[in-house]
């Protein structure tokens, strides 16, 4: 591992720790990977009922 990649790894870890971004739990399945490499999963499903449609505004 080069020094640069080590520094980048440490910097990313520190920024996550400072911003309070929790890591993705290891036991949550399924993990979906988009063509661009983004990984995501549903941590907690929303309530049953109407879902947002394309063009609806959402607050996250």
pLDDT for the residue 36: 93
Cα–Cα distance for residue pair 28/43, rounded to 1 Å:
7
What's the Cα-to-Cα distance from 26 to each of 30, 33, 43, rounded to whole Å?
A: 10, 15, 11
Total domains in the fold of the chain: 1
pLDDT for the residue 35: 94
Does residue 29 belong to any structural domain of this protein?
yes
pLDDT digits (tens, 9 = 90+) for 12-55: 666 655 566 666 677 777 888 899 988 888 888 888 888 888 99
pLDDT for the residue 56: 92
Does residue 33 belong to any structural domain of this protein?
yes
Regarding predicted confidence, which is higher, 52 or 6? 52
Does residue 22 belong to any structural domain of this protein?
yes
Cα–Cα distance for residue pair 28/23, rounded to 1 Å:
11
Does residue 10 belong to any structural domain of this protein?
yes
Does residue 59 belong to any structural domain of this protein?
no
Q: Which domain holds residue 26?
A: 3-40
Whether the predicted pLDDT of 1 surpasses 60: no
């Amino acid at each position: 591992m080069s020094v640069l990649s080590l520094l980048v790894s440490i910097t990313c870890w520190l920024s996550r720790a400072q911003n309070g971004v929790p890591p993705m739990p290891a036991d949550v399945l399924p993990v979906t990977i988009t063509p661009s490499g983004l990984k995501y999963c549903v941590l907690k499903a929303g309530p049953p009922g109407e879902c947002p449609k394309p063009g609806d505004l959402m607050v996250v």
